[in-house]
Each structure stands twice: as structure tokens, then as C-alpha cells.
Amino acid sequence: MAALAPAGPWDAASAALDELSLNFTYGAPGPGNGSLSGAWYGRNQIHLFGVLLAILGNLVISISLNIQKYSHLQLAQQEHPRPYFKSVLWWGGVLLMAVGEMGNFAAYGFAPITLIAPLGCVSVTGSAIISVTFLKDNLRASDLLGMTLAFAGTYLLVSFAPNITQAISARTVQYYFVGWQFLIYMILEILIFCILLYFYKRKGVKHMVILLTLVALLASLTVISVKAVSGMITFSMTDKMQLTYPIFYIMFVIMIASCVFQVKFLNQATKLYNMTTVVPVNHIFFTISAIIAGIIFYQEFLGAAFLTVFIYLFGETNVGQNTTRFQ
């Protein structure tokens, strides 16, 4: 009987690479691929479920953002305004935002980051309509054009996105977490974040671009960690339990911390600027950072959708052209 070969130092890495190769599932090509046909639906039911969750979640987020903005407006009219975090109405908006983000959280477990992140246009258009109706913001022809282009880009992204499903296990996340691409990305992100934070804290520069760039940098960590946590929970429900791995709790802490600081900077922006400006610009920054994070960390790539993303972001830019500052 032949003796078993001793385990080499590269066995763990080889096992991780083998698992990564099995974690990508590609839909078989066939007629109807790339359109919302019956064949498309049959191959993309999981992705479509994630898309629906993201749409519903973003609708709730659009309501929550306008509630928070309304609380800022009410406080600004008081002779001695209280801090916004002492307002019951503001906390009601935060609670609704948490509910909406739960929908997005679940969506990342069923579809790629590069597909779910652009669906935030639902919160942009919903917020624009609500702010015009209830907050009396202005809606121009360019805003309507932007909404139309954004929805067209979203349709094309969902319709023509490659049918690639990646099962996220703890071993997969660990492998990506120590990858040189992600480490370089994190170093650059920390440097940029510290520079912007210096201008914000020390120099008192509260320009919308600085505030929303801080939000976007944090958002890239949020989508990475949300995808990891949601994916490991989904994987645990269908296969081996993943919640006992330390990487799950590391990602959970990153998710909570990045979300908390995002709320802080985003609220500062909504306090100073109109909702019809903040929400679209924030979504553009978020979408770009999320797509970059998905490509670098999870090696997602939607090369065929670059033109679609351009149309989509151009539409969002039109919605966010108004830069009137709220006094």
C-alpha cells in the first residue's frame, strides 16, 4: 500500500484557489440571452430576486432621506435649534434607512456588486420626486431627462449583465482579503481619506465634493463587507456553515463601522445642500466606488456594460446639476 504524500506548504493556497474556481457559476449561452425573455428569466432568477430586493430597499431609502432632510429644515427654523440627532423625526428617517439597507444587504447575497450598486438610481429618482412634492424643491427638464437616462441605463445593466453567480464562502473572503490588489487599494484609500479628513476637520472645508467623497470611500468598504457577510450567510443556508470563521465577524464590524460614519458625513451634506443635489451626486460617487471595489476585491467585471454605465451616470449627472446651497 503506497504511503500518502506529505502535505506541502502550498496545499492551503491550492485548496483556496480550487474553491475559488468552483465558486463562479456561468449561465449557459442560448437564445434569449441578454434580454428579459423567458429564457433569460430561467437563467437569472437568483439575480432578478436580488434586483427586486435592491429596488424595494432603495425606495424606502429615498423616503428616509427626505424625512431626515425635513427634520433639518424644521430645526433650522427654530430660534435655538437642537442637534439633529436629538430629533425624533430624524431618528425615524434613520430607522427607515436601516430597513431599506437591509433590502440592499440581502440583495448583495444574490447578485454581483456591479449589478446591485447602480440600482441606487431608484433612490435618486424617488428622492427627487418626493423632495419636489413635499419639500418644494425645483424639478427641471434636465432632471426629467436625467431620470429617463438613469432608468434606461439600469434596464440595460440588468438585461445584459453576464449571468455569473459567485458563491461567497469564508475561505473565498479570506483569500481576497489578503490579496495584493486589495492591500494596495486599501493603502491608497486610507491616504486619500486622511487627506480629505484633514481639510474637513482642520481647515473647516465642508464642500459637498469633500463630504461625498468621504462617504464614497467608506461606501466601498461597506459594499465589500456587506457582500461578504450576506454571501456567507446565504452560503451557510445552502451549504456548509460559515458563521464560525473569524473573517465573518471582521467583515461584520467593518460593515457596521463604515455605515455609521457614512451616515455622519451624508447627514452633514444633506444639512448644507438641497436633496436634489446631494442624492444624485452621492449616488454617482457611490456607484463608481462600489464598481471599483467589486472589480478589485471580488474580481467582478462587466466589460460589456461600460457604455451602459456611462449612459446611466450621465443621466444621474443631469439630475444633480442643481448646486444651490441650503442656508
Q: Which of 320, 321, 315, 318 is nearest to 157 (CA)?
A: 315
Instruction: Please report, for residues 27, 72, 123, the alpha-carbon distance to residue 241 in angstroms, rounded to integers and kept in the order given.
Output: 26, 44, 34
Mean pLDDT of 178-193: 91
Q: What is the DSSP string of 25-45?
A: EEPPP-TTTTTTSHHHHHH-H
Question: Please, which pLDDT band fits residue 319 given cuts at 50, 70 and 90?
Answer: low
Domain positions in the chain are 33-319
User: Is 161 or 259 the better-scoring residue by pLDDT?
Assistant: 259
Task: State phi, psi for 257 to the nearest 5 degrees.
Answer: -65, -45
Q: How high does pLDDT run on average in the chain? A: 75
pTM of full prediction above 0.75? no
- The pLDDT, as a whole number, for residue 192 is 94
User: Is 153 or 189 the better-scoring residue by pLDDT?
Assistant: 189
**What does DSSP assign to residue 24?**
E
Judged against a pLDDT cut of 50, whether residue 7 lies above it is answered with: no
- The pLDDT, as a whole number, for residue 98 is 85
Q: How confident is the model over 44-65, as pLDDT tens digits?
A: 677 788 888 888 988 888 888 8
Judged against a pLDDT cut of 60, whether residue 118 lies above it is answered with: yes
User: Is 120 or 58 the better-scoring residue by pLDDT?
Assistant: 58
**N-to-C CA span, the chain:** 84
Mean pLDDT of 137-158: 73
- The pLDDT, as a whole number, for residue 325 is 34
Question: Please, which pLDDT band fits residue 10 given cuts at 50, 70 and 90?
Answer: very low
Question: Please, which pLDDT band fits residue 82 given cuts at 50, 70 and 90?
Answer: confident
- State the amino acid at position 145 in one-letter form: L
Whether 110 contacts 234, CB under 8 Å:
yes
Helix (H, G, I), strand (E, B) or coil at 325: strand
- The pLDDT, as a whole number, for residue 38 is 52
Whether 182 contacts 220, CB under 8 Å:
no
Mean pLDDT of 27-42: 47
Q: Which of 231, 215, 255, 286 is nearest to 58 (CA)?
A: 286
Helices (H) and strands (E) in the chain, counts: 13, 2
Question: Please, which pLDDT band fits residue 207 given cuts at 50, 70 and 90?
Answer: confident
Judged against a pLDDT cut of 50, whether residue 297 lies above it is answered with: yes
User: Is 186 or 36 the better-scoring residue by pLDDT?
Assistant: 186
Instruction: Retrieve residue 241's grid coordinates.
Output: 456553515
CA dihedral (126, 129, 133, 134) positive or negative: positive
Max mean pLDDT among 27-36, 70-79, 146-155, 272-281 falls in 70-79
Instruction: Retrieve residue 223's grid coordinates.
Output: 459594499
Question: Please, which pLDDT band fits residue 162 given cuts at 50, 70 and 90?
Answer: low
Question: Please, which pLDDT band fits residue 196 given cuts at 50, 70 and 90?
Answer: very high
- The pLDDT, as a whole number, for residue 24 is 47
Q: How far apart are CA 54 and CA 118, in angstroms?
A: 10
Q: Which of 185, 175, 208 is nearest to 13 (CA)?
A: 175
Helix (H, G, I), strand (E, B) or coil at 273: strand
